[in-house]
Amino acid sequence: MVGTIVVFFALTFYSIGIYAEQKHKKVLQRVITFLTMGIIADIIATAFMIAGSSKGLFTFHGILGYSALLAMLIDNIFIWRLRLKTGVGADVPDAIHRYSRFAYIWWVIAFITGGLLVAYSKMG
């Protein structure tokens, strides 16, 4: 249950951070802050979900979720490296801009899939 609540925080943080990056195409402090908070919340949520799962580590949703977390972690690394190299307010290169969008969409697919699996399990 804790993992479910925390993953909603991850969704909120990621959404704010990615929206700001996609809108401004700049490494703004709020982009860094919200993406970092999203990663922290996502890691915590994943740990709680693994601890609370009776199905093991390697389920379809687990692999989808781990790959989505990895994609967002890589995006975070790209954004942080850019910030450390060029400073706050720097333009985000097109490749990183596109990757951020891809990683976020992949993460949202994993998020929705998890919700659908939980809803389906409650029905049966």
pTM over 0.85: yes
CB 75 within 8 A of CB 99: yes
Report the alpha-carbon angle 5-41-104, nearest 5.
100
2: pLDDT strictly greater than 80: yes
pLDDT given for residue 102 in this prediction: 97
Answer whether CATH 1.20.1300 is correct for domain 2-123.
Answer: no
SS3 at position 26? strand
**Tokens at 3, concatenated:** 């993992």
Average pLDDT over residues 76-93: 94
Q: Report residue 8's pLDDT band, with 50, 70 and 90 as the boundaries.
A: very high
Type of residue at 70: L
